[in-house]
Amino acid sequence: MRICCKPASGFLLLVLSFPVVQADPAEPRYAIVIHGGAGGAVTGDADRQAVLQDALAAGEAMLKNGDSSLNTVEAVVRMLEDSSHFNAGKGAVCNAVGEHELDASIMDGRDRSAGAVGGVTTVKNPISLARRVMTETPHVLLVAGGADRFADTLEKDPQIERVSNRYFSTEAQTKKWLREKKKRETRDRQQEKSESLGTVGCVALDAHGNLAAATSTGGLINKRYGRIGDSPIPTAGTFADNETCGVSCTGVGEDFIRNAVAYDVSARMAYLDQPLDKAVEAVLFDADRPVRGGIIAISRQGQIVMRFNSAGMARAAADSTGRHEVIVGK
């Protein structure tokens, strides 16, 4: 504050001047980041890029219009689940018996509410069922037949559409499964060498300062029947806390579960005061606790991070400062 005294017709004029406080122009009002899976080279990159572009545009429009981060991440992941070009929903990989078991989770950074489903077989959009677990039950995770039976109770919910298990099959994933099955008839491990390790995920920060994260996957190709990865486990594959960040992971789920990766990123920010980029880097490149895959995240200030140690990761990001990018590959 600055105080000035000036004579004015025999009187003293007191002038108070206060400094103008401006918001940091580099701090976005909203932000969104998406991944389409970590892994090696895949065919159809142009198609994947087009779907990511549409999903990013839709998510950004929702945030720009004041919608919540929670609604946004669900809507974006639904779009990716409906595409045959990702390992989630329609394009899910086959398990060891040639069927599809899908996993998903969603988390609200306002209060760490979370919902998840694992091994679902007849729900078109597992991410929406995960959200109903969060909002309609006292639980966090429902799996297999229990998750599908819960979906039975939601028959009037237009977001919970039922399909046959064959709906998720695609010619490309079936051919890939047959190749993997032939190679691994006597090898139960080495799942990380499959052509695609990917899940899909989205993290968003809305104009109200709320973070949310969502992740959905078909899992690892040729996985054992009943295997659950990190995607439906909050703290492993998904995490959101308004005080730190939102996180969605992709890669070899067992690595992310063992190391509580999504939560570890948040914890490093909270307890070590690490910035988001340093926290993600520390987790992904820790030689003593190897994690194979990638991480997308947004801090409470709107910083976006997209890092991976795999051969590539499909990803996209946008924010209110004008950032808008879609990258498929390295």
Using the Cα atoms of residue 71, residue 103, residue 231 and residue 309 in order, give the sign of their dihedral.
Answer: negative
Do 305 and 295 form a contact (C-beta atoms < 8 A)? yes
Q: What's the token pair of residue 306?
A: 């997209």
Q: Which residues contact 149 (CB under 8 A, 6 or more apart)?
A: none
Q: Which is catalytic among the residues 72, 199, 235, 250?
A: 199
Cα–Cα distance list, 48 to 7, 23, 127, 251 (Å): 71, 37, 19, 18
Using the Cα atoms of residue 129, residue 134, residue 136 and residue 142 in order, give the sign of their dihedral.
Answer: positive
The answer to whether 170 is a known catalytic residue is: no
DSSP assignments along 243-306, one per residue:
TSEEEEEEE-HHHHHHTTHHHHHHHHHHHS---HHHHHHHHHT-TTS---EEEEEEETT--EEE
DSSP assignments along 100-161, one per residue:
--EEEEEEETTTTEEEEEEEESSBS-HHHHHHHHHHHSS-SEEEHHHHHHHHHTTTT-TT--
**Pairing between β-strand 293-299 and β-strand 304-308 as defined by DSSP bridges:** antiparallel
- For the chain, report the end-to-end CA distance as a whole number of angstroms: 51
Active site positions, annotated:
199
